[in-house]
A and B are shown apart, each in its own frame.
Chain A
Amino acid sequence: MHNAKPIIVLVDDSDAMRTLFEQVAREADFELHAYASAEASLTFLDSNRPNLLVINVMMPNKDGYSLLKQLRANPLHQDTPTVMISSKDYAQDRVAARELGVLEFVAKPISKKALRSLIAHYVDGGGAPRN
């Protein structure tokens, strides 16, 4: 496993956000699994623990909190490093996210530069540029 690339999972209904992550993944050394809904992410997450999980809060069906609550009940994801990301920027959402044990609550928009440093901060080797 030591030379496997770190895995980052993004769950966000925003097509533009998934594009942003894909652009950053292309120039960095991590494997990205991007899903447009909580439901679509579950097949992978049921049996895989990523190095970093990034979840959007407001989504059309199951919201980000509900997804993370469900994942936290699975022993595999009890402490999966997770970042919440949202167009919302309210204190109450920061508290709700913290209660689910997230590393950070990021208010959208996020620049490429900020996303790169976020990943470098939480994922060992995830931020290293490919040569």
Chain B
Amino acid sequence: MSEAYLRFWGVRGSYAAPHETHLGVGGNTSCVELRAGDHLLVCDGGTGIISLGEELVQADELHEMLVVFTHYHWDHICGLPFFQPAFSPDWRIEFFGPGDTAADIERRLSDQMKAPYFPVETETWMADINYVEPHDDGMRHGPFEIRHFNVHHPGVTYGYRVRIADKTVVYVSDNEVQFLKTSIAKRIHEFEEDEHELLERMVSEQRSAELAAIENVDILIHDAQYTPHDYSKKRGWGHSCYVDTVNLAIDAGVGCLYLYHHDPTYNDDQVAAIHRDCLQIIAERKSSMECHIAREGLKVRL
């Protein structure tokens, strides 16, 4: 197999932030390209997918890809109506995301292009488009082995575990970790003393599930949207505080963590400060985990 890599095309959460002060990190919303030779897997179709599409059409090398969606919130699908390969008859594109059937996936992706929200509907897509029928055993796309799992975010939201080139990459763009633990802490007064043991079991069950999804993976791309101060105001919005993300990744034995889904209000300096703090936590915990900021344009060899 020739070169395998991943590349970040969009790293912002919630909405695009194309401000001068933010461009060191990048202003586009969620989109990650995973490439292995002639095979292409794309995670999410935020505004980042627009430039990816332009590059793919220009390069005119590949004509097939699989695009997987974590969920259908705008920041993850809003680049799709401007995704050039979909409008080109040269392409064969498969789409997958949450839903019980391929028809569910199609409906959810198409609805954003319906009138009066968009001038053309998916009927104008010229590519050979297919929606992948979900099944529990996961998917294969060329050399990629792909599994999805449920994560903690409003509605049904997936994380993806991808095996490629002897590496495991996990993509979890939106996930509020440790939520049950803090719910219990806030409401502990509702419980009798003899219920505490069961509550502790619930917390440890949730922790085990969170860890199992990312255990010992080589690369984890994970929601690290908020500072502790902002998280205290935005608990229950479906995103993690970076302190929880970095600690979860260390506990799971992750090789390399990419801080992702940056808050659109944070400029480059603020994201850099988050990164510095993560490195300090890693050092204090004497962990050997690598940790980087997911930056738009960053290419990582696999």
Quick one: given A88-B152, A89-B236, are A111 and B202 in contact (CB under 8 Å)? no
What's the Cα separation between A48 and B50 when bound, in Å?
A: 50
Q: Are A92 and B155 in contact (CB under 8 A)?
A: yes
B230 within 8 A of A: no
Nearest A-chain residue to B201, judged by Cβ? A16
Q: Are A96 and B150 in contact (CB under 8 A)?
A: no
Q: Are B205 and A63 in contact (CB under 8 A)?
A: no
- Counting residue pairs across A and B whose Cβ atoms lie within 8 Å, the total is 70
* Chain A count of residues within 8 A CB distance of the other chain: 30
Q: Are A111 and B183 in contact (CB under 8 A)?
A: no
* Shortest distance from the beta carbon of A52 to any chain B beta carbon, whole Å: 21
Q: Are A87 and B150 in contact (CB under 8 A)?
A: no
* Shortest distance from the beta carbon of A24 to any chain B beta carbon, whole Å: 11
**Residue A14 contacts which of B150, B152, B205, B236 (CB distance < 8 angstroms)?**
B205
What's the Cα separation between A69 and B154 when bound, in Å?
A: 18
* Shortest distance from the beta carbon of A121 to any chain B beta carbon, whole Å: 17
Q: Which residues of B contact A14 (CB under 8 A)?
A: 202, 205
Quick one: given A89-B183, A111-B190, are A58 and B152 in contact (CB under 8 Å)? yes
**A 1-59 contacts with B by CB, 8 A:** 14-17, 19-20, 58-59
Quick one: given A63-B156, A91-B154, A93-B154, are A109 and B184 in contact (CB under 8 Å)? yes
Q: Which residues of B contact A109 (CB under 8 A)?
A: 180, 183-184, 187, 190-191, 199, 202
**A 74-119 contacts with B by CB, 8 A:** 87-93, 96, 107-109, 111-114
Q: Which residues of B contact A113 (CB under 8 A)?
A: 190, 192
Q: Are B202 and A90 in contact (CB under 8 A)?
A: no
B206 within 8 A of A: yes
Quick one: given A14-B205, A15-B205, A109-B202, are A87 and B180 in contact (CB under 8 Å)? yes
What's the Cα separation between A19 and B236 when bound, in Å?
A: 27
Q: Are A90 and B136 in contact (CB under 8 A)?
A: no
**Residue A65 contacts which of B136, B153, B156 (CB distance < 8 angstroms)?**
B156
Q: Which residues of A contact B179 (CB under 8 A)?
A: 87-89
* Chain B count of residues within 8 A CB distance of the other chain: 27
What's the Cα separation between A92 and B3 when bound, in Å?
A: 41
Q: Which residues of B contact A131 (CB under 8 A)?
A: none
Bits for B228-262, please: 1 = Cβ < 8 Å to A, else 0.
Answer: 00000000101000000000000000000000000
Q: Which residues of B contact A108 (CB under 8 A)?
A: 180, 183, 202
B166 within 8 A of A: no
Q: Are A111 and B191 in contact (CB under 8 A)?
A: yes
Q: Which residues of A contact B59 (CB under 8 A)?
A: none
Most B CB within 10 A of own CB, among A20, A88, A89, A112:
A88
Q: Which residues of A contact B156 (CB under 8 A)?
A: 63, 65-66
Q: Are A58 and B150 in contact (CB under 8 A)?
A: yes
Q: Are B154 and A92 in contact (CB under 8 A)?
A: yes
Q: Are A114 and B195 in contact (CB under 8 A)?
A: no
Q: Are A69 and B100 in contact (CB under 8 A)?
A: yes
Q: Are B236 and A61 in contact (CB under 8 A)?
A: no
Binding site for A on B (CB under 8 A): 100, 136, 149-150, 152-156, 179-180, 183-184, 187, 190-192, 195, 198-199, 201-202, 205-206, 209, 236, 238
Binding site for B on A (CB under 8 A): 14-17, 19-20, 58-61, 63, 65-66, 69-70, 87-93, 96, 107-109, 111-114
Q: List 12 A-B contacts (CB under 8 A).
A: A16-B198, A63-B150, A87-B179, A87-B206, A88-B154, A88-B179, A90-B155, A92-B155, A109-B190, A111-B191, A111-B195, A113-B192
In addition to A87-B183, A109-B183, A109-B199, 5 A-B residue pairs with Cβ atoms within 8 Å of each other are A15-B201, A87-B206, A91-B154, A92-B155, A111-B191
The 4 A-B residue pairs with the shortest CB-CB distance, nearest first, are: A92-B154, A90-B154, A16-B201, A87-B180
